[in-house]
Amino acid sequence: MLPQKKYSLASGIALSVAYALAAYFAFGRAHGMPTTAFLCVLPAVMGAIPMLFADVDQIKNYLYLILIPWFTVGTFFLVLFVPGLEGLLCLVLLGSPFLLLGMVGTLLAWIIRAFILRSAAKRRAAALLSMLLPFAALGIERGLPVPEETVHVASSTVVKAPAGAVFRGLAEVATIEDAEYEVGIWNRLGVPRPIRATVDKAAIGGRRTGELEHGLRFDEVITVFDAPRTMSFDIAVDASTLRPNSTERHALEGGYFHFVDATYVIEPIDAERVRLTLSSRYVVKSTVKAYGNLFGRALVGDFQDRVLAVLKKRAERPVTMPSEPVAKGPVMP
């Protein structure tokens, strides 16, 4: 490949990354990331831009149909990750749609370039016009009614302990030590793990505060307190504790996702065991809620499983009774 041809393709990739970075900031300010415009239209345009800058010899190499979107998306993600603009979890969630739709955009641009727009001037004009598509799509998307969907996720575990002993550990949860908590893949990718829960009174109307890693805080109100069977509480995320550029901020701040409540239920199995169930309800309002729900269920379910594992260990922990003092009396001869 001649140096000039290399520059043509490289300049297209560089332009695509620069454009995607500008769009990222624009969509971020508009709270428009969990949208079809950002997750579908933007990566397609990113894949199309370098191909519209390619010359005839370059588009004959079918390997570029695969490599161009991978190079473009990979470079874009690297630019976001290195300075800390996005965490690893966000990039994992964005990876599938960006790579898939980026390849679709490259393929469409290859067809248009090969059979329709043979003039270099027209190709560049088409590339510039395509850059407006995500923003136009966002405007149209914002004008359409988006139905809300309430999602219910439940997790359960069997605990070998009395119902009362299990119930006593639900309203207020002492600090979870590192040795108690089994860190999972989602935690390693950036999902905050629970730290503790405090409550002003263990009764209906009690205010409960759930503290998570990275300073994230849930403000909760107990709505059901039926010992030793059920406890429910409403959940509101303290927006001031959301980390900048975090996945939770992107989802919660724009109103696309919000928690409703959570419920603990204890059901006797036999004389020695009970089933402890933790279920959560949350509302999704987005045109990409099917994709969001796929990861939402996985994240919430994993969070609940790990909380239940801690509660199970604590309830099953043997109770150490204080030893009785030895009575002192006269020494018998």
User: Which domains, ranges and CATH numbers included, belong to the chain?
Assistant: 3-143 (no CATH), 149-316 (3.30.530.20)
Task: pLDDT tens for the chain, 333 residues: list them.
Answer: 444 454 467 788 899 999 999 999 999 888 888 889 999 999 999 999 888 876 655 555 666 677 888 999 999 999 999 988 888 888 988 898 999 999 999 888 888 876 676 667 777 788 888 999 999 999 999 888 887 889 999 999 999 999 999 999 999 999 999 999 999 999 898 889 999 999 999 999 999 999 999 889 999 999 999 999 999 999 998 888 887 767 777 777 666 788 999 999 999 999 899 999 999 999 988 788 777 778 888 999 999 999 999 999 999 987 554 444 444 444 443
pLDDT of residue 3: 47
Q: Find, among 244, 299, 291, 312, the residue nearest to 34 by Cα.
A: 291
pLDDT of residue 211: 95
Is residue 232 within 8 Å of 280, Cβ to Cβ? no
Q: Find, among 333, 292, 251, the residue nearest to 87 by Cα.
A: 251
Q: Tokens 């998307």 map to which residue?
A: 141
Amino acid identity, position 4: Q
pLDDT of residue 254: 66
Is residue 223 within 8 Å of 208, Cβ to Cβ? no
Q: Tokens 């990331």 map to which residue?
A: 33
**Distance of CA 30 to CAs 47, 250, 275, Å?**
23, 10, 45
SS (H, E, C) 69-113: HHHHHHHHHHHHHCCCCCCHHHHHHHHHHHHHHHHHHHHHHHHHH
pLDDT of residue 322: 47
Q: How far is Cα 54 from Cα 305, in angstroms, rounded to an integer? A: 50
Retrieve residue 98's tokens. Answer: 């960006």
pLDDT of residue 35: 87
Q: How far is Cα 314 from Cα 301, in angstroms, rounded to an integer? A: 20
Q: How far is Cα 306 from Cα 317, in angstroms, rounded to an integer? A: 17
Retrieve residue 260's tokens. Answer: 């409703």
Element (H, E) at 223: strand 217-226
Eight-state DSSP code of residue 173: B
Chain-centre distance for alpha carbon 60: 39
Chain-centre distance for alpha carbon 5: 40
pLDDT of residue 101: 94
Retrieve residue 181's tokens. Answer: 């908590």
Q: Find, among 178, 193, 151, 160, the residue nearest to 302 by Cα.
A: 193
pLDDT of residue 58: 56
Q: How far is Cα 184 from Cα 75, in angstroms, rounded to an integer? A: 28
Q: Any idea how long the chain is?
A: 333
pLDDT of residue 89: 86
Calculate helix-pair angle for 133-143, 42-52, nearest 10 degrees: 160
Task: Look at residue 210 and give its three-state secondary structure.
Answer: strand
Is residue 257 within 8 Å of 284, Cβ to Cβ? yes
